[in-house]
Amino acid sequence: MELQTIQEKVKRCVSEVLNVPASEMQAETRLIEDLGANSFAIAEIFLALQTEFGITLEENFMLGHSVSVQDMTALMQQKVNG
């Protein structure tokens, strides 16, 4: 899957959970610091990404550190493309 397609899907998942237009997100946009995501929203995004990409993620991949759209895109690319 192409990187741009993956990033669009990541943005869509974040957009649906946080009710923020995907067009307002850049690669460096951070979920907590820039978009105001709380722990419940992070969990919802986690589940949405698993469903969208048909993958399983480690439970702690987004916990305890700043996560950007770019970080999530890179992880999804790694999981999807091997």
Question: Which CATH number covers residue 51?
Answer: 1.10.1200.10
CB-based burial label for 9 (10 Å; 0-12, 13-18, 19+): buried
Q: How many domains does the chain have?
A: 1
Element holding 71 (H helix, E strand): helix 69-81
Neighbours of 48 (CB within 10 A): 18
pLDDT value at 64 more than 90: no
Domain that holds residue 77: 3-81
Overall pTM > 0.85: yes
How confident is the model over 3-57, as pLDDT tens digits?
A: 999 999 999 999 999 999 999 999 999 999 999 999 899 889 999 999 999 998 8
Backbone angles phi, psi at 33, to 5 degrees: -70, -40
